[in-house]
Amino acid sequence: MKTSTSHKKTSQKPLTQTGFSILLALSLKPRHGYELMQQVNDDSKGRVSIGPGGLYGTIKELHKHKYIEEIEDTDDTTARKRRHYKITEKGRGVLAEEVAYYNHAVELAQARNTAPNLRNNPAGA
């Protein structure tokens, strides 16, 4: 098992679970709010459920840090325009750092035998 001894310091604070989940959902494609809530629920197998208040509060924070940006609604079939969001390059970088952190945490859990079932089933499926 490979373990890293280097500790890269980052300037940003860690993402919240909701922030991480939103960036992960946006890594697939741009989405509007309701699609984001659905994708986060699907990605987490129902473990993370975001309501409108939590969603838009987190979107505001992610936008402030330039991890996401609002894009024009290109769907002409709906009468009501929806706000769509996409992940930025900066957001992809932050997401990659968070994924690396979680990978390291899984390695530690395996090495310490705190999560023995992860050895045979790394995806948790």
User: In a 3-state reduction of DSSP, which class is residue 87?
Assistant: strand
Tokens of 38: 């659905």
Residue of higher predicted confidence among 116 and 56: 56
Tokens of 66: 């330039």
- The strand pairing partners of 31, in sequence order, are 85
For residue 39, give the H/E element and its range. Answer: helix 33-43
Residue 86 clears pLDDT 60, i.e. is over it:
yes
Tokens 């992960």, residue?
24
Residue 92 clears pLDDT 80, i.e. is over it:
yes
Greatest extent of the chain over all pairs of C-alpha atoms, in Å: 55
Task: State pTM to two decimals.
Answer: 0.80
Residue 62 near residue 19, CB atoms below 8 Å = yes
Domains, the chain: 17-119 (1.10.10.10)
